[in-house]
A = this chain, B = another copy of it.
């Protein structure tokens, strides 16, 4: 384990940036100026790596992309990952992240996650912080803004003065998966959701705050009573969950523009719901922001 000296080094020959999540990892080769070269994505998320297997998993990344330093973020820094990189509390900017890297091996850095605690509110993120602050570093978003970051666990983050000042996680994606795979609605949720009329009706029900756990059962009842076609259920349910999510995310927020950052197949649903709530969504691909964030942290080493 090489600690200490690493913290003052720079990486003139480039490095590999890794977004290492629970079920997937994405790795990008970057040159000294942050320009992207080769990349790959696979299913070797932290849960797929056996105990003690991270040095070998990292060696495999280097075998594919080159023998370079690594800058990693995401669940790799959690208690299920390689080493735990303690959370940095809000307000957190890119400098706070850079000064709190964990170094599980020489030339291998793990970016810490960010936490938020206020009264009885508590929240954590790992991985999204690099995208949020990377987008800022790349000039893609302003230093004061509201960002929605869809995923299994959607994050609503408020940035002020170039730092993450507060955020809230909403379990929308996970709830949809639970309902699709294990619930009384499973047989109705087999198809693909589409951002059309049934989705918009779901968003309306979700935004209204009428009550998510009641509206969910009504999805089934409406089909049983012939009030809605079966085929609408995936889109309506997706809209319902995302609408309830957006209602929480926009509560007490006055921003007209809302950045929606992530994978395009998710951001378009959230963008539609945010527009339906009367705000202006601005979609942004999270991958480019992740690379920009890692490059900026490497500059600060």
Binding site for B on A (CB under 8 A): 87, 115, 117, 120-124, 153, 168-172, 174-175, 178-179, 181-184, 201, 205, 209-214, 216-218, 220-222, 224-225, 227-228, 241, 244-245, 247-248, 251
Q: Which of A87, A123, A179 has the most CB of B within 10 A?
A: A123
Known: A124-B225, A213-B241. A178 touches B171 (CB 8 A): no
Q: Which of A172, A216, A217 has the most CB of B within 10 A?
A: A217
Could you tell me if B122 and A244 are in contact, using CB atoms closer than 8 angstroms? Answer: no
Known: A117-B225, A117-B227, A248-B211. A216 touches B179 (CB 8 A): no
Q: Return chain B residues, CB-CB under 8 Å to A117.
A: 225, 227
Interchain nearest-CB distance for A258 vs B (Å): 17
Q: Which of A115, A120, A184, A228 has the most CB of B within 10 A?
A: A120
A sample of 27 inter-chain contacts (CB < 8 A) reads A117-B227, A120-B227, A122-B222, A122-B227, A123-B218, A124-B221, A124-B224, A153-B184, A153-B217, A169-B218, A169-B221, A170-B217, A171-B183, A171-B184, A174-B183, A174-B184, A178-B178, A178-B179, A178-B182, A178-B183, A181-B182, A182-B182, A210-B248, A211-B244, A211-B251, A213-B241, A214-B248
Q: What separation, in Å, do the CA atoms of A228 and B217 have in the docked complex?
A: 31
Could you tell me if B213 and A172 are in contact, using CB atoms closer than 8 angstroms? Answer: yes
Interchain nearest-CB distance for A78 vs B (Å): 9
Known: A169-B221, A218-B122, A221-B123. A213 touches B175 (CB 8 A): yes
Could you tell me if B121 and A218 are in contact, using CB atoms closer than 8 angstroms? Answer: yes
Q: Return chain B residues, CB-CB under 8 Å to A245.
A: 213
Q: Return chain B residues, CB-CB under 8 Å to A175.
A: 213
Q: Return chain B residues, CB-CB under 8 Å to A178.
A: 178-179, 182-183
Q: Return chain B residues, CB-CB under 8 Å to A182.
A: 178, 181-182
Q: What separation, in Å, do the CA atoms of A217 and B251 have in the docked complex?
A: 17
